[in-house]
Amino acid sequence: MCGEKANFYTIGVNDKVSQGDCASEIPSNKLTSILDHFIADGRSGGFVTTSRLTHATPGSSYAHTANRAWESNEKMKDVPEKCKDIAYQFVYDNTKIQVAMGGGRRHFLPNTTKDPEYNTKYGRRVDGQNLITEWQKKQGAKGRNHRYVWNKGEFDSVDPQTTDYLLGLFEYSHMQYEVDRDTSSNGEPSITEMVEKAIRILKKNSNGFFLLVEGSNIDIAHHDSLAAKALTETVSLDKAVTKALELTNEEDTLVIVTADHSHVFSMGGYNYRGNDILGLANPIDYEPPLDGMPYTTLNYANGPGVNFTSGKRPNLTNVDTTAFDYIPQAAVPVEYETHGGEDVPIFSKGPMSHLLNGVKEQHYVAHVMQYAACVGDFKDDNHCKNTEHKPTCSACLITLDRITLFLSLIGIYLKQFCFK
């Protein structure tokens, strides 16, 4: 998002800031994100996620922190006051962000206020601030057409033509998996619906817009070793991408597909054509399982799927391995499955897509986006002065996060450009 390498667990800062080092959060160590560059250039910007708004990927577009866990201030009691939590930064330092939708109400509400959806849950802020109310006050004071929504009914009532600033917090923490999602007016919108609403709001700016979208429930499902749900979330992501492409033009839209990491999720066994991807493998005769037990096509190298109570793998013959809550077997027992270390794919389509072929360092992507949009470090570059090719509106970036290694689609950056 910022075009520089950084240290583990930090967001929006350079490599001079180490995890938890509040003192190093000085202005010279803070980085400018691609979202910041777009807004500074008079374009619209926003983000959509299925995680908390304050989580790592959305947070990286607007926040600067030495610890990504500082989503609200309940974990900062021993941290100097000069360091602000991520939710606080969103409301007080980023009032020009026009669209922000996802989960995470708990980090915006004080610990004395009940969540509107769950009567037994309270906010987590220890400073007494209701940041949702503060956001509304700030937008109102600026005379902006704004809406705050927390369920699907309210979301559906938002008219993109009359709404310029939209804050949607649809869950106490992360949003629900698509297969579990309440689609009634009391529930929450799908990622596709959020993407469509966001683009329709942002594209009103004739100068262009930037949109970051994260299908983060893919990652969350993998950490819980819920393979079926991870794949279903991938389908949801694909639908969101399709909708984004319907609302933009390939002639002036750059689409980038990438991710920040893989998972230790693999496909094995020489399966017959048509075999259920969630089913048992069909090993060839000369490579049978040495323990005589069947195994699934999909497995994790580590995770909660280790259940060898008898010293042997359980017999899966009569187990429904296609169930959404089935946890595939794993080799190493850990509470949460981990990320992988492979290079992740990066695909691109549209203007300037030729800059993203071959193997690239991850921070290079942010520079390509700046260059293609003529913002940031490349605002006055020679190619931007060419009236025949200079973008007059550039905008929609979508990242749709982590997916499985054997499926090449891992995320999407989508950015729209309008050329004369």
Ranges 250-254, 302-306, 406-410, most confident = 302-306
If we measure between CA atoms, which residue out of 367, 401, 211, 410 comes closest to residue 356? 367
pLDDT band at 383 (very low <50, low <70, confident <90, very high): confident
Residues paired with 45 in a beta bridge: 210
CA dist 266 and 251 (Å) reads: 36
Domain count, the chain: 2
DSSP conformation letters of 16-75: T--TT-GGG--GGGBPPPHHHHHHHTT-EEEEEEEEETTSHHHHTTT--BS-TT-SSGGG
Identify the CA nearest to 210 among candidates 355, 410, 92, 37. 37
**Residues 78, 151 within the same domain:** yes
- Do 326 and 344 lie in one domain? The reply is no
Phi and psi at residue 52, in whole multiples of 5°?
-65, 145
Q: Binding residue per annotation — 260? A: yes
- Hey, what are 16's tokens? 């001079």
Beta-carbon neighbour count of residue 282 at 10 Å? 12
- DSSP annotation of 157 reads T
Same domain, 199 and 344: yes
Q: Give the structural domain span for 322.
A: 267-336
Task: Specify whether 278 is located in the same domain as 305.
Answer: yes
Task: Describe the strand order of the beta sheet including 347-349 as a list of residue ranges.
Answer: 347-349, 253-257, 413-419, 391-394
Is the domain of 210 the same as that of 74?
yes
- Give per-residue pLDDT as tens, 330-356: 999 999 999 999 999 888 888 898 999
H-helix or E-strand containing 391?
A: strand 391-394
Domain closes at, from 305, 336, 367: 336
Q: Are residues 53 and 197 in the same domain?
A: yes
Domain check: are 55 and 98 in the same one?
yes
- Whether residue 13 is contained in a domain is answered as no
pLDDT, position 283 = 81
223 is in an annotated binding site: yes
Residue 320 assigned to a binding site:
no
Point out the domain boundary residue: 336, 358, 379: 336
Angle at 52 between CA 90 and CA 322, to 5 degrees: 160
pLDDT digits (tens, 9 = 90+) for 146-192: 999 999 999 999 999 999 999 999 999 999 999 999 999 999 999 99
The reply to whether 181 falls in a domain is: yes
Same domain, residue pair 145 and 199: yes
Do 306 and 353 fall into the same domain? no
pLDDT mean over 372-396: 73
Identify the three-state secondary structure at position 349.
Answer: strand
Statement: residue 139 has pLDDT above 60: yes
Q: Do residues 309 and 225 both lie within one domain?
A: no
Residues 369 and 415: beta-carbon distance below 8 Å = yes
Q: Do 208 and 274 lie in a common domain?
A: no
pLDDT at 309 over 80: no
Single pTM value for the model = 0.91
Report the alpha-carbon distance of residue 398 to residue 241 in Å, rounded: 8
Residue 11 lies inside a defined structural domain of this protein: no
Q: Does residue 55 have a known ligand-binding role?
A: yes
List the structure tokens of 260. Answer: 């920040």
315 and 374 together in one domain? no
Q: Is residue 16 part of a domain?
A: no
Asked whether residue 15 is domain-assigned, the answer is: no
pLDDT at 170: 99
128: left (phi over 0), alpha (psi -120 to 50) or beta: left
Domain boundary residue, one of 336, 360, 386: 336
